[in-house]
Amino acid sequence: MTKGIKVPKADGEVARRRLAEMDLLHPRLRLSSDEGSIYMPVLDQSEALTAVGGIPVEMEFRPDTRRITPEDLLGRRPSFEVIGEIAIVEDDRPDEVASVLLSLYKNISTVISPISDVVGEYRTRRFEHVAGEVLTKTVYKEHGLSYHVDLERAYFTQRLGTERLRVAQQVSPGEAVLDMFAGVGPFSLLCAKMGARVVAIEKNPAAANLLRENVRQNRLLGVEVLEGDCREHLSGRKDCADRTIMNLPHSASAFLEEAFTASKSGGVVHFYAFTSVDDLFAPESAIQEAAEGRGWMAEILYRGVVRSYAPRRFNVVLDFRVLKG
């Protein structure tokens, strides 16, 4: 018997993608379904329930014999993320994992391993080369768009793909989106593809260059790129955004005043944070304080877990509506 979760069929695909992004789906067992529900075998049931909800189950899942996994060849489960043709491996023996990945997946040409955390204002990491070609630049495809990324010089993760789609699916054509921490543009470009007029602000010059290149290459009209600090670019901008994206989870609270000021009354803000499992949505109080300080209100619309980040820590999102009296 294996632990799993049961979710309604209507929520199944989103839940499956989120669990896959979080590496929580059991790699060697198959999902099953009945008329109304999907049953997913998971590696950590409580983390999976925190992330996507559902009902805990314990049942027999059929083995997935369709493909050979890295785990089959290594006898242990390696941690890795693939972005374009680059695999980022976090393992005590990265060279062993690299040779398995290069033999199994023809689309991977390079294996690198992080030698620092994601650090600093620009949220970048340093890597060492493990195997294959020596490169940190690649092209990543997501939701019909392609992104030039440079993993060492500008922040990027594919683990937010489902979250980016959740946000972009709320966009109405013509609405004004403000992406305060745009990086190489994955939220901005997808919102523009949905018909939004986007202001994308990015402080890291390397990320801003990639962002401009990505706007050009995807032939998207309606993305204005502003390079520099969002505080400076937003000074004097009031009541202009229908939707504001604050994807700077380690310190977005410090920018709430700018977000409230730039938002129209009735505008929606997507606010990201890293929090402890003991108080997942703790930043709600900072949001309410920032609103009340100006005589405004914040109506919380959605509380979600985006992915696990560290033991007992999660990347969460709070969507709220700004109400200016």
Residues lying near ligand SAM in the complex (CB under 6 A): 121-123, 155-156, 160, 181-183, 186-187, 201-204, 207, 229-230, 247-248
Nearer to ligand SAM, 39 or 147 (CB): 147
* CA–CA dist 190, 220 (Å, integer): 10
| Half-sphere CA count of 301, side-chain side, radius 13 A | 15
Sheet holding 79-83, edge to edge: 79-83, 86-90, 110-114, 127-132
Nearer to ligand SAM, 84 or 186 (CB): 186
We find the least distance from the C-beta atom of residue 118 to ligand SAM, in angstroms, to be: 8
Nearer to ligand SAM, 97 or 317 (CB): 317
We find the least distance from the C-beta atom of residue 170 to ligand SAM, in angstroms, to be: 16
Nearer to ligand SAM, 26 or 307 (CB): 307
Q: Quick count: other Cβ atoms within 10 Å of Cβ 201? A: 23
Pairing status of strand 32-33 against strand 37-41: antiparallel
- Residue 296: closest CA among 246, 238, 249, 233: 238
We find the least distance from the C-beta atom of residue 306 to ligand SAM, in angstroms, to be: 11
We find the least distance from the C-beta atom of residue 2 to ligand SAM, in angstroms, to be: 33
DSSP string, 6-52: EEEGGGHHHHHHHHHHTT-B-TTB--EE-SSEEEEEBS-HHHHHHHH
Nearer to ligand SAM, 40 or 149 (CB): 149
We find the least distance from the C-beta atom of residue 183 to ligand SAM, in angstroms, to be: 3
Q: Which residue is nearest to ligand SAM (CB)?
A: 183
* CA–CA dist 175, 179 (Å, integer): 13
